[in-house]
Amino acid sequence: MMKKTIAREAKVEYVIGIDVGTSGTKGLLVREDGTTAATALAEYGLDTPRPGWAEQDPASWWQAASGVIAQLAAAAGTPEAIKCIGLTGQMHSSVFLDHRDEVIRPALLWCDQRTEDQVRAITEKVGFERLVDLTANRALTGFTAPKILWLREVEPKNYSRLRRLLLAKDYIRSRLTGDYATDVSDASGMLLFDVVRRRWSREVLDRLEIDPDILPEVFESPQVTGSVMAAVAADLGLAPGTPVVAGGGDQAAGAVGNGIVREGPCLITIGTSGVVFAVSTRPVIDPEARLHSFCHAAPGLWHTMGVMLSAGGSLRWLRETLRQAAPDLDYDRMGAAASTAPAGSDGLFFLPYLTGERTPHFDAEARGMFFGLSLTHGLGHLVRAVMEGVAYGLLDSVRLMREAGADMDAVYLSGGGGKSDLWASIMASALGLPVKRLSVDEGPSYGAAALALVGAGVYPDVAEVAARGLKVRDEVMPDPALVPTYAAGYCRYRSLYPAVAGLFRPGTES
């Protein structure tokens, strides 16, 4: 008698990717084959107690992350189905902890500009050229080291309590696993890290008189740093001992999530900030440090970045400002209005320096402005000028990368701004190059999940799993009729900042 064979459904296993962003924490539940099974999002606010300051309570990150993880764990069905967790998040944002691991004060974020005095002091103490030699970067207000000095000089009582310094995603790690760890890509943005040798710079720490014991241990991004503690696992629906990998800074993880792990492609991201990102097999260090040079989340690789602080954030600011008079105004209506305005916005320009600027000006006190306003300009002109101003600002970084020798064989576009057909078209015509739009909406969180798949042993290396993330939705071609318009517009745009830069300084008289 033949036995009847009963087909059994294959057991599905997952990883989780968590992105601790500026406006909220996103999470993905990803199957072992790289497909997404579930998503979750928890939002929170941003505090600006003074102009140029930006803070968040790390407790809001943990509340959001723990809720997102619990939702995704429930979607997985059983705690044991989650095989690994990957973390990413906003870079540079500094969490100060005391000896009880309690948060001393609100975190100072990547876009916080209060540390200009400390930036000057770091450059004087270390020397500009030596600092670039040691860290591959110049001192900037957004970086972590100036924040430590600010705490020491301005809030000495809080500084006396300091025992641990963590970045945003690494604070979540500490709450999950009890470990103090970070990865090479996130550490690269602290201005305390030897990017070439992928380790903390003892010389910088000594010159700045920073105790190395406050810093976390550094790992390569797909390495496991610890496992979820039993008490936390019970609260979140995870199995005790679920491994957690080092993860990566949001831009490096986003590049992994979008499949950018080889030399050649240029990834442009229009999120709250704007980033131009290119991969290299060796550190690319500009002697003038006009670009960021960081370790990539893929072991053995580095990446070069140009960063503008208010890209999609500029359009969001315009929307929120106009909503005070028109509460139902949304991005769709704004985009429709902008499409009625001509390329060049009838001579209206926007400088997107709402919170200062990094590339190419490195000016914490720069501010945004509309230039060329007239009675003929309406809503559509304002919106389109913002989109064009962001495109020009990103073109600044592309130009510098070309000067540094970057060989761009393809340009990819991601982030919320890339979803706009008009904005994508403006980018293509401003660049004079075809732009391939990527279909992965959650690049950083998907990249964190991809790193977790490597850490769980599902894939042998980052390159293999990242190849699954390179999914082109469409290609936007430059409009030949508009390329000259934007070339001329960019030339005029570049002349505006030098003309007004001196007026941004406090106390400058007209």
Residues forming beta bridges with residue 17, ordered by sequence position:
28, 86
Closest by Cα among 369, 400, 311, 392 to 111: 311
Written as six digits, the tokens of 37 are 């099974």
Q: Which stretches of 143-214 are assigned E, i.e. beta strand? A: 164-167, 181-183, 193-194, 199-200
Q: Is 200 helix (H, G, I), strand (E, B) or coil?
A: strand
Q: Is 457 helix (H, G, I), strand (E, B) or coil?
A: coil
Residue 396 bears catalytic tag: no
Cα 186 to the chain's mean position, in Å? 10
CB pairs under 8 A, 24+ apart, for 421-424? 421/335, 421/476, 422/335, 422/338, 422/339, 422/384, 422/387, 423/270, 423/335, 423/387, 423/390, 423/391, 424/476
Q: Answer yes or no: are the C-beta atoms of 449 and 28 closer than 8 Å.
A: yes
| Neighbouring residues of 371: CB distance < 8 A, sequence distance ≥ 6 | 348, 349, 350, 351, 496
Closest by Cα among 142, 137, 108, 144 to 123: 137
- The catalytic residue among 170, 250, 363, 441 is 250
Whose tokens are 């207000």? That residue is 141
User: What are the catalytic residues?
Assistant: 250
